[in-house]
Structure 1
C-alpha cells in the first residue's frame, strides 16, 4: 500500500516546465528566430543593438545555450582538450577543475585525456583521442619535461598551451606558450620566512626529481640560502606523499636542523606527524613551511605556514589564450601578461608552524 501511495504521490507532481527555446527568445526580443540563431552562431551580420536585445532576452528568460546544436550550426566543436598526467596530485587536479570552470564561463566544453608521463606512446594516443573530438585548443597539464618533449614532437595542428611547466620555456620562443606560477620565487618566500625568523640550518624536503616544479623549488631553496650566505643544511628526496615526509623525520632530526622547507603540503603533513610521534615540538624546536596551501593546511597541527598558488587565475589565463580572452579574467590582458618570462607570483601564507629557533 505504501508503495502504491508513493507512486500516486509521485504521479501528482507538477510537470517540469518546458525549457526556454529560440522561439521564446525571439518573441521577447522582437526579432525572428533566424536572427536569434545568427546571434547564437556568432554571425557578424547582426547589428550590435539587436544582438544586445537578444542576449538580454536570453538572460531574462533563463535560456540555456545548447552547445551541441550550436556546433552543428557553426561547424565548430567549442571544446577545449585537456591532456594531463599525474592528475591525482593536488596542483594538477585543481588546475583541471579550474580549466573546466574557465572554459564553461567562456561557452566552451572540456574534454580530458590522461597519459602516462613517461610513455611517449601514451601521450601521443591521448593527443590523438582529443584530435578525434575536433578540440579547438589544447591545455597540457604537464609537470614533466619528457611529457613536454613528446608534445613538441607531435604535429597536433591545434593551438596549445602548457600548465605547470615552470622552467621548461623555449629560450628562442619556439613551442607552445607556457603558463605557470613562479616556483623559484615561491621557494624563496618559504626559505626567507624561515631565515627571517632566525634559522640558519634550514633543510629541504624535496619533490621528485622528474617534476619540473620540484626542480624549480629546489633551485629557489638554494638561491635564497645563497643570497643570505647560508649553506644548505640537508636535502632529503621525497615523492609528494605524506608517507615520504613521515619517513624523512629521522634524517631531519639526525642532521640537527632547526627548520624544514617541504616542497609540498602533503610531505609537510607527514613530517609533522613524524615529529609529533618523536616528541618534537613544532614550532618550538623545529619550524616547518610547506607549498601549495591545500584546503586542509590551516587545520594541520600546528596550522601550516605555506606558499599559495592561484590555480584559478592560471587556468583563466591559459583558457583566455586559446579562446581570445573571453573568460572574464579579473586581470585585463592577463593572457598576454603570463608567459615563461612573467609567471604568476605566489603568496606566502603565515600560520603557526614557524617560530624562532631554540636558544
Structure 2
C-alpha cells in the first residue's frame, strides 16, 4: 500500500500536522530529533510528496522523469534525443535531472526530487547503479527502467541497454580476425558494465586459446583524461592492439601515442566502444562497436509506458582507420 501522511503519523505516533511540518522542513516548530525520525520513517515507507495531486486526480499526469547520472562521456546525448522525440510523439512531457557522475548521495537526492513530481515513470541513465538507489525507485511504486545499464544478478530490474558481454566479445574478435594476439582492454571500471565487457573480452581470448597477461587490462573511468593517464601502463608489454572502454578513452590514447611517437594503427591498433560522432573526427578515425543510443532512448519510453520486458538494443561494428591488419 502506498505510504500517506496519515500512515506515517500512525507509525511515528504523532499527528498528521507534525508529519506535514517535518516533511516541509519546518523544524522550528517541532523537535529536530522528532523531525529527523519522521523523515526517516517516510523514506523507509517509500513516501514522496505529490506535487501534482490535481493532475493525478484527473489521471492526466503525462510526465516522464529522466535522471542522468554520468558525465565522463557523452553517450547519453543520443539517448536523451531518442527519449524526447518518442515522448513528444506519445504526448508525454519530460523532466531531466542531472545527478553528477555516479555520486550515490547526489543520485539519492535527485531520485527523491524526481519522484516528488509523481511522474508516469522514471528512466535512469547511468554507467553504474547502487542497490540503494534501486531500492528507492522500487519503494516509490512508480514504474522505472534502467537505461544503458543492467545487472545479470538482478534480472527483476527492468532495463534497456546494449549487451555488454557481446560488445566486449565482438570488439576482441574483430582484432583477432585482424591477426592480433597481444590485445589489451583499457579504461573499463569495476562496475557491472565494465565487468560484463571484460567478461566478453575474456571469452573471446579464451576461445582463441590465448592467455591474458594481467598487465593487459587497465582499469579507468571512461574519460578522455583517463585515456591519457592509462597510456603509460600499456608501454613495455608488447601489445599490438587494445579495446578502449569508450570513445573518449581511445582519443586520450591517440593523443599520447602521437606525443610519444607511436603511430596508430601501424604500431598500435585501437577499437573503441560507443561509436559517437567523435570517432569520425579522431585522427585516425576510430573503428568502433557502435551502440544505437538514439534507439535506446526511443525504446526506453515505449518499454516504460507499455510495461514491456527488458531489452537489448543491437550494436554494429563500424570499420574505420584505427586498426591494422597483421600478417
Shorter-chain TM-score range: 0.7 to 0.9
Mapped partners of 1:199, 1:161: distance in 2: 39
1:219 aligns with 2:199: yes
Give, in angstroms, the shift of residue 118 of structure 1.
5.7
Give, in angstroms, the shift of residue 275 of structure 1.
1.2
Equivalent pair of 2:128/2:192 in contact (CA under 8 Å):
yes
Mapped partners of 2:204, 2:110: distance in 1: 39
Partner of 1:37: none
Mapped partners of 1:118, 1:248: distance in 2: 21
Partner of 2:235: 253
Secondary structure of the 2:139 match is coil
Equivalent residues in 2 for 1:180-219, closer than 5 Å: 180-209=161-190, 211-219=191-199
Partner of 1:228: 208
Equivalent pair of 1:139/1:160 in contact (CA under 8 Å):
yes
* Segment of structure 1 superposing worse, 80-89 or 277-286: 80-89
Secondary structure of the 2:185 match is strand
Secondary structure of the 2:253 match is helix
Q: Decide whether aligned partners of structure 1 residues 198 and 120 sit closer, same or farther in structure 2, where only a CA change above 3 A counts.
A: closer
More strand by share: 2
Equivalent residues in 2 for 1:337-352, closer than 5 Å: 339=310, 343-352=312-321
1:314 aligns with 2:296: yes
Unaligned 5+ residue runs, structure 2? 1-51
Mapped partners of 1:184, 1:254: distance in 2: 28
Secondary structure of the 1:101 match is helix
Partner of 1:128: 112
Q: Decide whether aligned partners of structure 1 residues 236 and 121 sit closer, same or farther in structure 2, where only a CA change above 3 A counts.
A: closer
Give, in angstroms, the shift of residue 246 of structure 1.
1.9
Give the greater-gyration-radius structure (CA). Answer: 1
Q: How many residues get paired?
A: 272
Match of 1:110 among 94, 109, 113: 94
Mapped partners of 2:182, 2:108: distance in 1: 45
Mapped partners of 1:250, 1:159: distance in 2: 45
Give, in angstroms, the shift of residue 84 of structure 1.
2.4
1:141 aligns with 2:122: no
* Segment of structure 1 superposing worse, 220-229 or 246-255: 246-255
Mapped partners of 2:143, 2:73: distance in 1: 26
Mapped partners of 1:230, 1:242: distance in 2: 29
Equivalent pair of 2:102/2:126 in contact (CA under 8 Å):
no
TM-score by length of 2: 0.76
Give, in angstroms, the shift of residue 119 of structure 1.
5.3
TM-score by length of 1: 0.69
Give, in angstroms, the shift of residue 140 of structure 1.
1.4
Following TM superposition, the consecutive aligned residue runs of length 4 or more in structure 1 with deviations greater than 6 angstroms are none
Q: What's the Cα RMSD here?
A: 2.5
Partner of 1:77: 61
Give, in angstroms, the shift of residue 248 of structure 1.
2.5
Mapped partners of 1:198, 1:161: distance in 2: 40
Equivalent pair of 2:72/2:222 in contact (CA under 8 Å):
no
- The CA deviation string for residues 32-82 of structure 1, in whole angstroms up to 9 with x for no partner, is xxxxxxxxxxxxxxxxxxxxxxxxxxxxxxxxxxxx9x9699442210011
